[in-house]
């Protein structure tokens, strides 16, 4: 299905052609006609399915169809997103789609100067992309008002709830006096999500791309069981041996991110960092280096990586399993985008096996375990049995030319048994 068949103006179609968008993705096929009819939407679609164009193209077209002069601080379309990276990315996408129109697009988010955002908001904007916290600051200062709002999008609504934005959302919604057409997008579903939908959507059309809470079907998932302390070594080895060219690595802690990057660098692999302690400008630079191929690996924490748009990313590695099974879906959304084949690798230590089971329940799919030679998780037991079968070890046990040997062999055995017991616990 082509974009011109959806009744989009030639200015939009021309811009889409430049973005190499030719056919609609499944979410676009389902959502665009519904949004064009004016319906509210509740869509379950993971990142990477093309949802940004799905909600923004109809909004752009509506603004073209009904030109209005903007009043001070007014907004016609509002997109709420959980993180600055995602807000920035959405705004950039909308700017590309509307480059042949005179639609104004502004992004506001925390961590950037209020004053420059204030200036951009003054004359009013056609489409505002915002994180909830920063939008509230601008609302309080009277820099922006939502009294003329026509369209409203909650993007990654589940993530906004996870990040505790519910009160900020309520405050924002209190200032919305019109009944804007409302679209809610989420990769996962939960009772809190459903409650939010019930509160703000009117007779929404439900759209589900793939099964709920599933990951893109073009992603090949694999689990490598590995001891925690050997993950760094394994990562370097895989990247080197398999000659992976562009790898996004997820870790749970900033400290781990720093350690992994240092370790990779020691192995001569160019890696960059993206975590919450890094300034926005540093994160952008890292992303740019990664995108352009200057850096082969980007090591990121969940919040910092949220919403990163890296087209055609071939490999995502869960160096740590995420704390929340839902985050697996979000992380994996970085690969296998818009119909391309992706590769999702998870390093799973013994203590992360439970999370793996939860992930499998969520995505309704058993992930293939591939034990790697030399990285066996039971390596302590394996090592012990190997040692017992080695002649050197046997000889050592049977040596009696030293009076102390017998007792030291016994004490070694006791240590081994204790080790074995601990490993079983």
Q: Which of 34, 52, 143, 318 binds ligand AMP (CB under 6 A)?
A: 52
CA dist., res. 72 & res. 209, Å (int): 39
Q: Does 83 bind ligand AMP (CB under 6 A)?
A: no
373 token code pair = 């030679």
Helix (H/G/I), strand (E/B), else coil: 104: coil
CA dihedral in degrees (189, 194, 197, 202; nearest 10)?
120
Applying CB under 6 A, which part among 49-57, 143-151, 271-279, 297-305 lies near ligand AMP?
Answer: 49-57
Instruction: Output the CA angle 54-13-97, nearest 5 degrees.
Output: 55
Query: Taking CB under 6 A as the rule, does residue 408 contact ligand AMP?
Result: no
Instruction: List beta partners, residue 343.
Output: 220, 315
DSSP letter for 204, please. Answer: P
In 3-state terms, what secondary structure has residue 313? strand
Which range touches ligand AMP (CB under 6 A), out of 4-12, 18-26, 64-72, 292-300?
A: 18-26
Q: What CA–CA distance (Å, rounded) separates 103 from 95?
A: 8
Q: Which of residues 20-39 bind ligand AMP (CB under 6 A)?
A: 21, 23-25, 28
Q: Closer to ligand AMP by CB, 89 or 182: give it.
A: 89
Record the tokens describing residue 311, joined without a space.
């087209």
**283 versus 334: smaller Cβ distance to ligand AMP:** 334
Least distance (Å) between residue 327 CB and ligand AMP: 17
Instruction: Provide the Cα torsion 83, 84, 90, 95; round to 10°.
Output: 170
Binding status of residue 58 toward ligand AMP by CB under 6 A = no
In a 10 Å sphere around its CB, with 0-12 CB exposed, 13-18 middle and 19+ buried, how is residue 422 labelled? exposed
107 and 91 Cβ atoms separated by less than 8 Å: yes
**Is residue 183 a contact residue for ligand AMP (CB under 6 A)?**
no
State which of positions 287-326 bind ligand AMP (CB under 6 A). 309, 311
Decide if residue 49 touches ligand AMP (CB under 6 A).
Answer: yes
299: Cβ contacts below 8 Å, ≥ 6 apart: 249, 251, 257, 260, 261, 264, 271, 272, 273, 274, 319
The residue from 51, 230, 278, 334 that contacts ligand AMP (CB under 6 A) is 51
Position 53 contacts ligand AMP (CB under 6 A): yes
Number of residues that bind ligand AMP (CB under 6 A): 16
DSSP 340-384: --EEEEEEE-GGGHHHHHHHHHHHT-PPEE-PPTT--TTHHHHHH
**Hey, which residues between 324 and 343 contact ligand AMP (CB under 6 A)?**
337-338
Residue closer to ligand AMP (CB basis): 5 or 395: 5
- Identify which of residues 207 and 226 has a Cβ nearer to ligand AMP in the complex: 207
Q: Which stretch binds ligand AMP (CB under 6 A): 46-54, 186-194, 210-218, 404-412?
A: 46-54
Place of tokens 């909830």: 132
Under rule CB under 6 A, residue 48 binds ligand AMP: yes
Question: x/- binding map, residues 363-382, to ligand AMP, per CB under 6 A?
Answer: --------------------
Considering only the stretches 45-53, 69-77, 183-191, 243-251, report the one whose residues sit in contact with ligand AMP under the rule CB under 6 A: 45-53
Can you read off the two tokens belonging to residue 105? Answer: 């697009």
Q: Provide the binding-site residues for ligand AMP, judged by CB under 6 A.
A: 21, 23-25, 28, 47-53, 309, 311, 337-338
């Amino acid at each position: 299905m082509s974009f011109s068949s959806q009744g989009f103006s030639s200015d939009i179609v021309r811009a889409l052609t430049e973005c190499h968008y030719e056919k609609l993705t499944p979410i676009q096929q389902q959502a665009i006609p519904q949004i064009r009819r004016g319906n509210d939407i509740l869509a379950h679609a993971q990142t990477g399915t093309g949802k940004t164009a799905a909600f923004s193209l109809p909004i752009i077209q509506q603004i073209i169809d009904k030109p209005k002069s903007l009043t001070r601080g007014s907004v016609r379309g509002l997109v709420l997103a959980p993180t600055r990276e995602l807000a920035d990315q959405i705004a950039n996408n909308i700017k590309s789609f509307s480059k042949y129109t005179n639609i104004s697009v502004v992004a506001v988010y925390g961590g950037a100067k209020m004053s420059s955002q204030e200036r951009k908001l003054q004359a009013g904007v056609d489409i505002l992309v915002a994180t909830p916290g920063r939008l509230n600051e601008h609302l309080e200062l009277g820099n922006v008002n939502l009294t003329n709002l026509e369209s409203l999008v909650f993007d990654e609504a589940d993530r906004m709830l996870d990040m505790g934005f519910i009160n900020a959302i309520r405050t924002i919604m209190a200032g919305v006096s019109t009944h804007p057409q409302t679209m809610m997008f989420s990769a996962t579903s939960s009772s809190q999500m459903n409650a939010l939908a019930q509160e703000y959507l009117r007779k929404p059309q439900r759209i589900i791309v793939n099964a709920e809470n599933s990951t893109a079907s073009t992603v090949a998932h694999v689990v490598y069981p590995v001891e925690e302390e050997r993950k760094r070594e394994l990562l370097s080895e895989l990247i080197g041996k398999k000659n992976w060219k562009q790898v996004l690595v997820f870790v749970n802690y900033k400290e781990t991110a720093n350690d992994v990057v240092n370790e990779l660098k020691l192995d001569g692999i160019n890696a960059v960092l993206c975590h919450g302690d890094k300034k926005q400008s540093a994160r952008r630079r890292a992303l740019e280096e990664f995108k352009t191929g200057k850096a082969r690996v980007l090591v990121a924490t969940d919040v910092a990586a949220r919403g990163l748009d890296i087209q055609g990313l071939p490999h995502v590695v869960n160096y740590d399993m995420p704390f929340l099974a839902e985050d697996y879906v979000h992380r994996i959304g970085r690969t296998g985008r818009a119909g391309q084949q992706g590769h999702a690798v998870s390093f799973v230590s013994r203590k992360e096996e439970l999370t793996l089971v939860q992930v499998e329940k969520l995505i309704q799919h058993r992930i293939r375990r591939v034990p790697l030679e030399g990285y066996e998780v039971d390596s302590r037991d394996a090592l012990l049995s190997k040692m017992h079968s080695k002649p050197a070890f046997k000889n050592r046990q049977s040596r009696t030319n030293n009076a102390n040997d017998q007792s030291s062999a016994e004490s070694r055995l006791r240590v081994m048994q204790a080790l074995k017991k601990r490993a079983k616990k």
